[in-house]
Amino acid sequence: MKQMCIKYFVFLSFFTSAVISANTDIPEREQNNGKVGEARLPLQELRIFTQVFEQVRRGYVDEVTDIQLLESAVAGLLLELDPHSAYLDLEAHKKLQESASGQYGGLGIEISAKRGMLEVIAPIDDSPAQKAGILTGDLIHEINGEPVRSFALPEAIDKLRGPKGSPIDLTILREGKDKPISLNITRDIIYSSAVRSRLLTNDIGYIRISQFQENSDKDFIAALKKLNEFDNPNDVLKGLIIDLRNNPGGLIPPAVEIADVFLDDGLIVYTEGRTPSANQTFLATPGKLLGSVPIVILINGGTASAAEIFAGALQDHTRAAILGTQSFGKGSVQTVIPFGDGRAIKLTTARYFTPLGRSIQAEGIIPDINIPRAETTLLESARLPRERDLDGHLKGPDGHYSSQQSEAKGVTNDNQLKEAIHILKGFTLLRQG
């Protein structure tokens, strides 16, 4: 027992000393009678740790390896700091990298669970799934001969993914086909953009950012330019809606770059931490797009982190109106520190502040126009008679009736999006006046 305690004590002392000496950014520590910042490690606590380690190792109901225990100890070390610091094993680190890059090895299909199977929402253009003939509405019944019903959705998604060049067998059920369809597909690298865009009306654009990935800034600029392309050179985009609802954040640099698209100068965001590398300032550069075209940004309680940085920057510069409900309030910066063997830690290293010095931590972005999601019901359900319906009514001077303005596309049940459109139309009317 004593030898085991000495063994792990020596290991931990060496490991901790190596970490401290390798971290040149950590400020010089002072001896402080056991308080935070002391130079020496607390010997009594280390003794307790080695004793607990040995008790668990020898007496726990199931056998646990030394590696498992040490990994659990590292995970626990970070777990108690804050909700966002974490130990990343090989699989967790890989998934985080895939999420940040938007790239993964797979088939290129958007899916959802339906009746114990996977329903194909849509295959991605030029993906292996599309080339193999998978269609919207197809049901994936088996993956490599195993019924999908035996998997939870996350597990099924993991089985669909895999290294580039690896094969996968799928059994597909398709409406109108009497027999299942068997497909052998070779996986490839899939890029899934987090940016979607469309025109809501003839002159109001909509861009949805589901999270900030490595290429989100490039995808956003491309989408914005496409929205502003009109056949008639006299037509221009008169309003833009940027939807950040339920955007959990992601990478800060793309969020800063997108904010810079609408600003010519001034602060975008700055961070403050204990180490010099954690203190950064991000400034806007000349060359903004869209000029003074009015912008509305949609946020809600699921809008967090980098999405709050973006919304806060444009709000402080009065470049956009923020509409929706108060955001999540994650005002901290996490740095991923890899260890070379595929494992890493995600460590909170700084707090960020908006251009006006506001801390979003635990507060969030308060919208300029607070509108919760709600169901709306039309009170006027039937068309009332008008002058033109009366027999013998006078016609207008030109003999024609003006057509009713078309409704915005795809916003029937989204009251926040409807209000954003109304606000932008109001901006346009006021400017014309």
Token pair in block for residue 326: 């108060």
Distances (CA, A) of 248 to 145, 305, 331, 359: 36, 7, 12, 17
| φ/ψ (deg, to 5) at 396 | -65, 170
The active-site residue out of 238, 243, 327, 330 is: 330
101 among known catalytic residues? no
The active-site residue out of 85, 127, 216, 305 is: 305
The active-site residue out of 89, 158, 203, 316 is: 316
305 among known catalytic residues? yes
Radius of gyration of the chain, Cα coordinates, nearest whole angstrom = 28
CA dist., res. 139 & res. 122, Å (int): 11
- Going by C-alpha positions, the residue among 355, 262, 358, 247 that lies closest to residue 299 is 247
CB within 8 A of 234, min separation 6: which ones?
none
2 among known catalytic residues? no
Strands 295-299 and 321-324: parallel
Q: Which residues does the annotation mark as catalytic?
A: 305, 316, 330
